[in-house]
Amino acid sequence: MSGQNFDSFREGTLNALGLKGLNSGIFDGQWKDLKGRNVYKSSSPVDGKHIADLTLANREDFDSIVRNSRKIFEEWREYTAPRRGEIIRSLGDLLVRKKKELGALVTLEVGKTPSEGEGEIQEMIDVAYFASGLSRQLYGLTMGSERPFHRLYEQWVPLGPVGIISAFNFPAAVWSWNSMIAAVCGDTAIWKPSTKAALVATGVMHAVSEALSDLGAPQIFSLMVSRGNEGGEWISNEPGIPLVSFTGSTNTGRNLYQKVSSRMGRSILELGGNNAAIVTEKSDMNVALKGVAFGALATAGQRCTSTRRVIIQDSIYEEFVGKLQKVYSNVKIGNPNDPGVLVGPLIDGKAVKTYLDAIETARKQGGKVLHQGKSMKIQGLEEGNYVSPTIVEAKQDMPIVKVETFGPLLYVFKYHSFDEALKMHNDVPQGLSSAIFTTDIREEEEFLSARGSDCGIANVNTSTAGAEIGGAFGGEKETGYGRESGTDSWKAYMRRQTVTKNFGKDVPLSQGVKFDV
Active site residues: 270, 304
Cα separations in angstroms, 412 against 41, 59, 224, 279, 295: 39, 47, 41, 11, 13
Residue 255 class from Cβ within 10 Å (0-12 exposed, 13-18 middle, 19+ buried)? middle
Q: 3-class SS at 292?
A: helix
**Is 308 in contact with 463 (CB distance < 8 Å)?**
no
Q: 3-class SS at 393?
A: strand
Q: How many CB atoms lie within 10 A of CB 232?
A: 22
**Is 359 in contact with 301 (CB distance < 8 Å)?**
no
Which of 21, 196, 25, 193 lies closest to 109 in space, CA to CA? 196
Residue 303 DSSP label: S
Which of 491, 494, 442, 433 lies closest to 465 in space, CA to CA? 433
Which of 439, 492, 515, 498 lies closest to 162 in space, CA to CA? 492
Helices (H), 111-195: 114-134, 173-185
Cα separations in angstroms, 53 against 13, 19, 196, 203: 15, 9, 12, 13
**Is 110 in contact with 168 (CB distance < 8 Å)?**
yes
The Cα–Cα gap between 415 and 434 comes to 17
The Cα–Cα gap between 380 and 335 comes to 10
Within the chain, how many helices (H) and strands (E) appear?
A: 13, 25
Q: 3-class SS at 356?
A: helix
Helices 81-110 and 114-134: angle between axes, nearest 10 degrees: 170
Helices (H), 172-217: 173-185, 198-215
